[in-house]
């Protein structure tokens, strides 16, 4: 039993250390440094030895001294088996092994003889490794988008693995793709269109949705239940089944290639979810407040404006942000309805850029950064509101 | 008194919801129903242009006679496919000008030239020539003549409004040999995309539910793929996976994991050898599914995390006392607690993945075995230009959707009963 535990402990720990080192090596490779071998055998066996040493020392030594010692040993070993690498690479290895040995410093013979210790160990490492891996997998495409936009065509073809940013070339050179995208490809105009369309959608949606949501939440009328269930059903219908009839109708009415047409469609498609989200919130406002309003002689409009709206600002902001996000990111309708460059939104413009013969990829990525950055900034800044919007509206996506 | 108030309340309610209902009806419900109409018609993209009668006015002076002028109207039917009936023509002239001779189709009265031009077949062209004379025998100004534009009107059948119906579209959809393939691709994509997103959502939620440094930051980062625009992400992935200059292939070659580049988005099948058996994996489809999982697991994560945080801590403490191991704790406490959320999530994601268009369209355009039903709607309607066929495929989607929704609302109702 004990032997088995010690063996699994060494094996899992060393594997985990090796995986962390692998991620670090990949990152180093992506800085344009030549590194072609993970050195699996040597590092893995040495890791097992160090883990065993860690177990043997246990708590006999000061824990801090122990982890520094072990980390140093590992870094020096790695330094000798790999050649011609810069000093910051080894420093990174040192930090990672420090982090790793810090995590296993408390394990000794006593811990391993406890119940389920190997499973606990496994899940601990899985969590740590999972966090590292998830961050890497999620952030890497965003990082790549950003760095590619700072490069030139020649550099990209020369070494596709070089993702370092060369700050030495000066800012105008660094942001060259952005200048070109805004100047030659008219992205300023597209950005303006996107902003107008998204803000317009938010405003019109709110104007339509607030009264309707209030009616559904508070007033009694025939067909109320039918209406509130059908809101959800309508919301589940996807854009792709609307696109052909809307295309035929809009092209016969001359609404294609117009911002108005886009506004109508975006508003209609976001209205159900806006009503759904708002009515839920309105229901949570105490009825007594409105009754007080009625006694004060307010009419319905007064109640909505003076009592409901100020109280439900958080809900309204999350609806507004959510609708803004949908409108900003929307692609299918803008692909269908816009084919003249003077009415393009950002998403449509980037797609147009991509189908254009041989558009250099740094321009494509610069455009992608231009469309992604505003929405990420808004998301990080208003995260609380947007997350509640996402959760409430997540029946769609 | 109270009935009067109720009446006012009712009226206000209708007033408040009417604008929204009208808008949603005209932009969402009406198109869904008109899909049915269009799907029984033989309509092509080029038929959508309403045929109109057109005229180009040419003003020509007559040699040695400045008091007379010749007007030529170049008339044509703009449509290459449809006829226009009962074409009427109207043009205005300045004072003191009269035509010398007119054919029987036309009349000239109080400065107005009116003609009844009858029926124009498709591609019809005709020149109408009329010579005008100044009644005061003065020179005619060409400029003034040119400033008036002729007005034409005519009736044409709008192909969308005729009562000719055909079953051909549906016959074509169902008889198409690729239809089974289309369906299986769609279900394959939908099912694995949904399952994958939920599995990774559970993993991520389990991780973030523990306390560690940078937890709030991690939660934001995990949502990035979901909030960023799909266009930007799809093209970034396309560059990442590019066989010649893409990062992933170069990285794998650099570390000698693969021998040559793999075209992850352009290769339909790849043969895998597992334990001596050859498996044929649909490569491009798998890549698209991985993108799908990458983009949508944050949503599952968000839902499951919210549910996990509501699980009472006492349950885990009791399990610790009983000496349960982590796997037992997950299987017997966590999983039953989040099962309801997962089933709802599964249905929602299933419905949405079934209808997903943008992701596949941007990554592969439906090539190399990634053609799903929504992609087919686009290809039939806009690449081939057969609007009727596109609508028929949309109807197929709607039918499936209604079945899924029925299951979903059954599930929702069952859950509401349990609570």
Going from N- to C-terminal start, the domains of chain A cover: 2-158, 180-393
Average pLDDT over residues B115-133: 82
pLDDT tens string A330-387 = 999 999 899 888 889 999 999 988 887 677 888 999 999 999 999 999 999 988 887 7
CB contacts, 8 Å: B246 with chain A: 160
Tokens 């010649």 -> residue: B244
pLDDT of A125-162, one tens digit each?
888 888 888 889 999 999 999 998 988 888 877 777 77
What tens digit of pLDDT does each residue of A9-50 get?
Answer: 888 888 888 888 888 888 888 887 777 777 778 888 888 888
Residue of A30, A127, A248, A294 to mutate, testing the B interface (most B Cβ within 10 Å of its Cβ): A248
Q: Among A139, A380, A397, whose Cβ lies nearest the Cβ of B352? A: A397
Whether residue B1 has pLDDT greater than 60: no
ipTM: 0.90
Please indicate if any CB of chain A lies within 8 Å of the CB of B406: no
Taking the Cβ of residue B239 and every Cβ of chain A, the question of whether any pair is shorter than 8 Å is answered with yes
pLDDT digits (tens, 9 = 90+) for A57-71: 777 777 788 888 888
- Say yes or no for a CB contact (<8 Å) between B226 and A216: no
Per the CB < 8 Å rule, is B303 touching A135? no
pLDDT tens digits, B323-358: 788 788 888 888 888 888 888 889 888 988 999 999
Provide the shortest C-alpha distance from residue B168 to chain A (in Å): 18
- Do residues A392 and A281 make contact, with C-beta atoms less than 8 angstroms apart? no
Q: Spell out which residues of chain B touch residue A372, defining contact as CB-CB under 8 Å.
A: 228-229, 232-233
Which of the four pLDDT bands, split at 50, 70 and 90, describes residue B2?
Answer: low
Element housing B88 (H / E) = strand B84-92
Instruction: Say whether A137 and B294 touch across the interface (CB within 8 A).
Output: yes
Interface residue of A241, A269, A300, A379 to substitute, partner B, most B CBs within 10 Å: A241
- A30 has a chain B CB within 8 A of its CB: yes
Residue B260, pLDDT > 50, answer yes
Beta carbons of A240 and B357 less than 8 Å apart: yes
For range A298-315, the mean pLDDT: 84
pLDDT tens readout for residues B287-330: 999 999 999 999 899 889 888 888 888 888 888 888 788 788 88
pLDDT value of residue A394:
59
Q: Which residue of A has its CA nearest to B345?
A: A395
| DSSP code for B379 | I
pLDDT band at B208 (very low <50, low <70, confident <90, very high): confident
| Chain B contact present for A309, CB below 8 A | no
Contact: B228, A347; criterion CB under 8 Å: no
**Closest residue in chain A to residue B295, using alpha carbons only:** A138
CATH architecture of A180-393: Orthogonal Bundle (1.10)
**Partner residue facing B302 (CB), from A236, A350, A390:** A390
Residue of B nearest to A366 (CA): B232
* CATH number assigned to the domain with residue range B177-385, chosen from the 4 options 3.30.479.30, 3.40.50.2000, 3.30.9.30, 1.10.3720.10: 1.10.3720.10
Q: For residue range A67-103, list pLDDT tens digits in order.
A: 888 888 888 888 888 777 788 888 888 888 888 888 7
Contacts of residues A334-337 at CB distance under 8 Å and 24 or more positions apart, as own/partner, are A334/A262, A336/A243, A336/A246, A336/A247, A336/B382, A337/A247, A337/A250, A337/A255, A337/A256, A337/A257, A337/A261, A337/A262, A337/A265
Contact state of B204 with A134 under an 8 Å Cβ cutoff: yes
The two structure tokens encoding residue B107? 């009349």
Q: Is the pLDDT of residue B256 over 70?
A: yes
Give the percent of chain B with pLDDT over 70.
Answer: 98
CA dist A264 and A257 (Å) reads 13
Mean pLDDT of chain A: 84
Domain ranges for chain B, please list them. 51-157, 177-385
Residue A397's pLDDT band, with cuts at 50, 70 and 90, is very low
pLDDT above 90: residue B225: yes
Q: Rg of chain B over CA atoms, in angstroms?
A: 34
Average pLDDT value for chain B: 85
* Token pair 């075209």: residue: B263
Tell me which of A197 and A308 has the higher pLDDT.
Answer: A197
Please, what is the Cα angle at B78 between B74 and B79, to 5 degrees?
145
Order of strands across the sheet that contains B68-77: B53-61, B68-77, B125-134, B97-99
Judged by phi (left if over 0) then psi (alpha if -120 to 50, else beta), residue B154 lies in beta
CATH class, B51-157 region: mainly beta
Q: What was the pLDDT predicted at A333?
A: 92
For range B150-158, the mean pLDDT: 79
- CB hemisphere CA count around A240 (13 angstroms): 31
pLDDT at position A115, please? 67
Interaxial angle between packed helices A176-183 and A361-381, expressed in degrees from 0 to 180 and rounded to the nearest 10: 90
* Chain A residues within an 8 Å CB radius of B323: 115
Q: Model's pTM, two decimal places?
A: 0.86
Q: How far does the CA of residue A334 sit from the closest CA of chain B (Å)?
A: 11
CA distance A90 to chain B (A): 19
pLDDT score recorded for residue B194: 95
Query: Quick check: do B51-157 and B177-385 share a fold?
Result: no
**How many angstroms separate the CA atoms of B258 and A68, rounded?**
37
- Provide CB contacts within 8 A for A239, sequence distance 6+: A269, A332, A333, B355, B357
**Which of residues 114 through 143 in chain B touch A, CB cutoff 8 A?**
none
Percent of the residues in chain A that have a pLDDT greater than 70, as a whole number: 95
Number of Cβ pairs closer than 8 Å across A and B?
280
Classify A325 as helix, strand or coil.
Answer: helix
Q: What is the pLDDT of residue A208?
A: 93
């Amino acid at each position: 039993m004990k032997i088995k535990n010690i063996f699994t402990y060494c094996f899992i720990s060393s594997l985990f250390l090796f995986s962390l080192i692998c991620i670090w090596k990949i990152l180093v490779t992506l800085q344009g440094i030549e590194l072609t071998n993970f050195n699996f055998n040597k590092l893995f066996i040495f890791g097992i030895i160090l883990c065993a040493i860690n177990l043997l020392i246990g708590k006999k030594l000061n824990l801090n001294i122990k982890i520094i010692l072990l980390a140093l040993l590992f870094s020096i070993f790695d330094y000798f088996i790999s050649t011609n690498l810069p000093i910051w690479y080894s420093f990174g290895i040192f930090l990672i092994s420090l982090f790793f040995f810090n995590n296993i410093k408390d394990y000794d013979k006593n811990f391993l003889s406890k119940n389920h210790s190997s499973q606990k160990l496994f899940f601990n490492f899985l969590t740590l490794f999972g966090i590292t891996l998830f961050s890497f997998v999620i952030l890497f495409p965003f990082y790549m988008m950003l760095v590619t936009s700072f490069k030139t065509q020649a550099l990209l073809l020369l070494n596709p693995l070089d993702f370092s940013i060369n700050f030495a070339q000066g800012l105008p050179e660094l942001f060259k793709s952005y200048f070109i995208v805004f100047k030659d490809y008219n992205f300023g105009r597209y950005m303006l269109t996107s902003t107008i369309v998204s803000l317009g959608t938010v405003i019109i949606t709110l104007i339509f949705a607030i009264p309707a949501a209030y009616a559904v939440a508070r007033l009694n009328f025939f067909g109320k239940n039918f209406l509130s269930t059908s809101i959800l059903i309508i919301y589940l219908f996807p854009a792709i089944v609307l696109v052909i009839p809307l295309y035929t109708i809009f092209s016969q009415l001359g609404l294609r290639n117009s911002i108005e047409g886009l506004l109508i469609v975006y508003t209609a498609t976001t209205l159900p979810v806006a009503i759904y989200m708002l009515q839920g919130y309105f229901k949570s406002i105490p009825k007594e407040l409105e009754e007080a309003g009625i006694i004060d002689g307010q009419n319905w409009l007064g109640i909505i404006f003076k009592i409901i709206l100020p109280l439900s600002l958080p809900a309204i902001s999350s609806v507004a942000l959510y609708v803004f996000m949908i409108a900003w990111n929307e692609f299918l309708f803008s692909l269908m309805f816009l084919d003249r460059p003077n009415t393009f939104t950002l998403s449509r413009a980037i797609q147009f850029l991509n189908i254009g013969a041989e558009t250099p990829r740094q321009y494509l990525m610069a455009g992608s950064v231009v469309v992604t950055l505003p929405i990420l900034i808004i998301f990080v800044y208003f995260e609380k509101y947007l997350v509640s919007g996402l959760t409430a509206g997540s029946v769609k996506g | 008194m109270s009935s009067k108030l109720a009446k006012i309340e009712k009226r206000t309610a209708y007033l408040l919801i009417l604008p929204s209902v009208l808008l949603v009806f005209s932009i969402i419900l009406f198109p869904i129903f008109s899909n049915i109409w269009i799907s029984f018609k033989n309509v092509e993209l080029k038929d959508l242009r309403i045929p109109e009668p057109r005229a180009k006015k040419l003003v020509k002076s007559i040699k040695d006679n400045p008091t007379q002028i010749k007007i030529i109207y170049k008339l044509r039917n703009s449509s290459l496919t449809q006829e226009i009936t009962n074409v009427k023509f109207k043009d205005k002239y300045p004072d003191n000008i009269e035509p010398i001779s007119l054919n029987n189709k036309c009349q000239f009265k109080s400065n107005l030239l009116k003609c009844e031009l009858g029926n124009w077949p498709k591609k019809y062209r005709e020149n109408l020539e009329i010579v005008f004379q100044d009644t005061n025998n003065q020179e005619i100004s060409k400029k003034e003549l040119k400033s008036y534009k002729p007005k034409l009107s005519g009736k044409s059948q709008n192909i969308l409004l005729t009562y000719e119906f055909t079953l051909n579209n549906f016959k074509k959809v169902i008889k198409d040999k690729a239809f089974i393939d289309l369906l299986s691709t769609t279900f394959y994509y939908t099912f694995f995309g949904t399952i994958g997103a939920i599995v990774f959502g559970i993993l991520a939620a389990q991780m973030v539910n523990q306390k560690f440094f940078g937890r709030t930051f991690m939660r934001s980062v995990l949502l990035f793929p979901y909030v960023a625009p799909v266009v930007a992400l799809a093209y970034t992935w396309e560059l990442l996976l590019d066989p010649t200059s893409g990062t992933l292939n170069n990285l794998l070659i650099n570390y000698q994991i693969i021998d040559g580049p793999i075209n992850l988005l352009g290769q339909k099948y790849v043969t895998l050898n597992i334990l001596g058996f050859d498996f044929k994996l649909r490569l491009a489809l798998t890549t698209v599914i991985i993108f799908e999982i990458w983009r949508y697991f944050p949503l599952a994560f968000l839902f499951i995390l919210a549910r996990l945080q509501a699980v009472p801590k006492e349950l885990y403490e009791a399990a610790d006392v009983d000496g349960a191991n982590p796997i037992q704790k997950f299987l017997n406490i966590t999983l039953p607690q989040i099962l309801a959320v997962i089933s709802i999530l599964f249905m929602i994601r299933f419905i949405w993945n079934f209808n997903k268009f943008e992701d596949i369209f941007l990554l592969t355009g439906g090539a190399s075995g990634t053609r799903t039903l929504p992609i087919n709607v686009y290809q039939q309607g806009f690449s081939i230009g057969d609007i009727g066929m596109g609508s028929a495929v949309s109807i197929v989607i709607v039918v499936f959707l209604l079945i899924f929704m029925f299951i979903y609302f059954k599930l929702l109702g069952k859950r509401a009963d349990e609570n």
